[in-house]
Amino acid sequence: MTAGELSVGAQLPERHFGPVDAAAIADYARASGDDNPIHVDAAAARAIGLDGPIVQGMLLMGLVDTALAAWLPEARCDKLSTRFALPVAAGSPVTVAARVVRADSPEGRPRVTLRIFVRDGAGKVAALAEAILTG
């Protein structure tokens, strides 16, 4: 699929990930330098009112990037913005879905804007993102 083949309202197929387990969270913490203990230490997470460790927001955005690459492998992501709504518990599966909210062709290059929904295992929206892709 290419950006030029998409029109406003088109739904992209859901992408399923996980469950995002403690090992994946710890690997991401090491690779990213994110040493916030709420991601890897249950006691630290509970101390601030969480039920347990949570997935890093940027790890979730990495899953969004993986979905974008699967949906539109030839496209270039020009902008990706995100609002986090709820924490995703360690061990939860994650679903990424998107729909086209704008499609145009400035200067002859197809461009689409996607509204992206990141859901936890209970189907709750954990993050809303928007991506602008060309090509």
Note the pLDDT tens digit of each residue in 79-96. Answer: 999 999 999 999 999 999
Note the pLDDT tens digit of each residue in 32-65. Answer: 999 899 999 999 999 999 999 999 999 999 999 9
Domain count of the fold of the chain: 1
- At 47, is the secondary structure helix, strand, or coil? helix
The verdict on residue 115 lying in a domain is yes
How many other β-carbons are positioned within 10 Å of the β-carbon of residue 2? 13
Cα separation, 111 vs 77, in Å, equals 10
Residue 10 sits in a domain of what CATH number? 3.10.129.10
pLDDT for residue 68: 97
Q: From its phi and psi, is residue 122 left (phi > 0), alpha (psi between -120 and 50) or beta?
A: alpha
The verdict on residue 123 lying in a domain is yes
Output the six-digit token pair for 111: 């461009």
Range of the domain at 71: 3-20+54-134
The verdict on residue 37 lying in a domain is no
The verdict on residue 35 lying in a domain is no
Q: How far is CA 33 from CA 25, 30, 58, 124, in A?
A: 12, 5, 12, 28
The verdict on residue 111 lying in a domain is yes
